[in-house]
């Protein structure tokens, strides 16, 4: 028999950080953030206080994980690992929200696993499930209610099904009646467990697995997970420390009794929060949320996706210093659109002022250069007033070839970065409105 896969946050012990080298300073975090500023999402404020440094550290982790495979199994360079280590140390020193297990509303919900360390003490079963890129791994936390629970979910895909491993939860605020925390290192096959106490009150969730099952789409009944929980004693028990949770409740670091670090983000609410931040013109919040969206892109080949063509309205942008004057002006206007005709290889940027009385239209050729990049070239720019064309400027030189990279694409939202570093958020328009 085997222990239930600790999909996500199955216990882990708490070495001080992921790294085993000397302590890393705040300066190292700032340097790492600059080195891995792949999404160009840093704020433009002047001095960086404690809050800013925490935000930088969180951004560093998210940016370094954009190319990771198997939730840390591969795809990380030594420099990226150093950046993550430094950022984790700073965030855990800060702690984020104090007493996280008491703030049930902030902690409850579904969390997606982005990264897990793989110490020699970790469970081999846990490493296997979390290292498969094709699977999505979640943790469902439910501390509110009469019986707190913490469940790990391995999603095999929409056409296959999922495995849910369920556990009773016990916290300082809501202790489980009759529960005795885990003792001893346990059986080597399941990985080595640690039993040291939490660093502070209201940060630890003790748990005990009590049931698990496979739920397959094409099978009309559940298939029990073949583990005799009642016979395994302490092997079904563990703990999870919430070492950092952001104040907006979207980002979490946790460590378990097997010595593993977990990096998780909240599932499901980010898109709604992003649109709300755009409407409120809160650029700092938009920048933070964009990182979560980019890590959860549901379209693996956006540049070649059938979702890409259509009429798109620009709702937010962050212009780089090297962006053209026309682009900077156009993105500030009330009506700015992009129309993509992938079949004919045509992309149009349209800016309308005064209800369309003045219009600037840039028409260019486009083609997919990779799964995530569209190349744009041979642009023609036209100006018109009340529908009468005033000027045409043809530019067909190699220097004018640019590209757009897709950070996120679904049926009604698109997030892109241009070749000069500018960021754009578009929402889909119906065919008649643009």
What band does 128 get if pLDDT is binned at 50, 70 and 90?
A: low
The pLDDT tens digits of the residues spanning 353-412 come to: 877 678 888 899 999 999 999 999 888 888 888 767 765 544 444 456 899 999 999 999
Contacts of 193 (CB under 8 A, 6+ apart): 11, 13, 121, 182, 184, 185, 186, 238, 257, 258
Nearest to 266 by CA among 250, 252, 278, 242: 250
How large is the average pLDDT for residues 129-157? 85
Cβ proximity of 373 and 403 under 8 Å: yes
Domain 302-428 has CATH 2.40.128.20: yes
Highest mean pLDDT among 30-39, 48-57, 76-85, 166-175: 166-175
Full DSSP string of 157-190 = ETTTEEEEEEEEEE-SSSPPTT-----S---GGG
Cβ proximity of 307 and 409 under 8 Å: yes
State yes or no: pLDDT of 216 exceeds 70: yes
Give the pLDDT confidence score for residue 122 in this predicted structure.
52
State yes or no: pLDDT of 250 exceeds 90: no
Give the pLDDT confidence score for residue 319 in this predicted structure.
78
State yes or no: pLDDT of 25 exceeds 70: no
Report the alpha-carbon distance of residue 300 to residue 69 in Å, rounded.
13
Considering only 21-30, 94-103, 138-147, 423-432, which range has the smallest mean pLDDT?
Answer: 21-30
Cβ proximity of 293 and 407 under 8 Å: yes
Using DSSP's 3-state secondary structure scheme, residue 254 falls into: strand
State yes or no: pLDDT of 42 exceeds 50: no
Full DSSP string of 354-408 = TTTTEEEEEEEEEEESSSSEEEEEEEEEEEEETTEEEEEEEE--GGG-EEEEEEE
Q: Which two tokens stand for residue 91?
A: 């965030």
What band does 119 get if pLDDT is binned at 50, 70 and 90?
A: low
Beta bridge partners of 170: 206
* Burial class, 260, CB count within 10 angstroms (exposed 0-12 / middle 13-18 / buried 19+): buried
State yes or no: pLDDT of 125 exceeds 60: no
Contacts of 220 (CB under 8 A, 6+ apart): none
pTM comes to 0.66
Contacts of 368 (CB under 8 A, 6+ apart): 303, 304, 342, 374, 375
Q: Which two tokens stand for residue 199?
A: 């660093």
Report the alpha-carbon distance of residue 223 to residue 416 in Å, rounded.
42
Q: Where are the domains of the chain?
A: 50-272, 302-428
Report the alpha-carbon distance of residue 195 to residue 12 in Å, rounded.
10
What band does 242 get if pLDDT is binned at 50, 70 and 90?
A: very high
């Amino acid at each position: 028999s085997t222990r239930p896969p600790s999909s996500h946050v199955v216990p882990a012990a708490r070495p001080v950080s992921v790294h085993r080298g000397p302590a890393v300073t705040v300066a190292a975090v700032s340097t790492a953030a600059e080195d891995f500023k792949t999404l160009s999402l840093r704020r433009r404020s002047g001095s960086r206080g404690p809050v800013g440094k925490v935000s930088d550290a969180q951004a560093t982790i998210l940016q370094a994980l954009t190319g990771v495979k198997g939730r840390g199994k591969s795809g990380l360079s030594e420099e990226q690992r150093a950046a993550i280590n430094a950022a984790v140390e700073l965030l855990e020193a800060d702690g984020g929200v104090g007493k996280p297990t008491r703030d049930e509303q902030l902690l409850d919900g579904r969390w997606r696993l982005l990264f897990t360390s793989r110490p020699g003490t970790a469970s081999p079963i846990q490493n296997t499930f979390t290292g498969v890129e094709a699977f999505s791994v979640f943790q469902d936390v439910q501390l509110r209610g009469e019986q707190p629970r913490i469940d790990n979910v391995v999603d095999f895909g929409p056409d296959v099904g999922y495995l849910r491993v369920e556990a009773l939860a016990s916290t300082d605020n809501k202790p489980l009646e009759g529960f005795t925390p885990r003792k001893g290192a346990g059986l080597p096959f399941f990985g080595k467990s640690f039993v040291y106490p939490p660093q502070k009150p209201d940060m630890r969730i003790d748990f005990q697995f009590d049931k698990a099952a496979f739920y397959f789409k094409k099978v009309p009944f559940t298939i029990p997970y073949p583990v005799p929980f009642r016979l395994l004693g302490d092997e079904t028990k563990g703990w999870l420390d919430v070492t950092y949770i952001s104040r907006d409740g979207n980002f979490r670091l946790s460590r378990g009794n097997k010595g593993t670090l977990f990096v998780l983000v909240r599932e499901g609410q980010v898109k709604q929060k992003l649109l709300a931040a755009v409407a409120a013109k809160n650029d700092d919040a938009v920048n933070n949320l964009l990182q979560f969206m980019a890590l959860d892109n549901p379209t693996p080949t956006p540049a070649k996706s059938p979702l890409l063509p259509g009429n798109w309205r620009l709702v937010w942008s962050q212009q780089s210093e090297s962006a053209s004057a026309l682009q900077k002006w156009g993105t500030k206007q009330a009506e700015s659109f992009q129309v993509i005709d992938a079949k004919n290889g045509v992309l149009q940027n349209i800016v309308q002022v005064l209800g369309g009385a003045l219009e600037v239209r840039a028409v260019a050729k486009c083609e997919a250069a990779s799964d995530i990049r569209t190349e744009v070239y041979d642009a023609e720019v036209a100006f018109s007033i009340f529908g009468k064309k005033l000027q045409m400027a043809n530019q067909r030189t190699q220097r004018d070839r640019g590209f757009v990279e897709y950070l996120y694409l679904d049926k009604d939202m698109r997030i892109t970065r241009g070749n000069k570093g500018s960021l754009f958020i578009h929402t889909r328009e119906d065919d008649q409105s643009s």
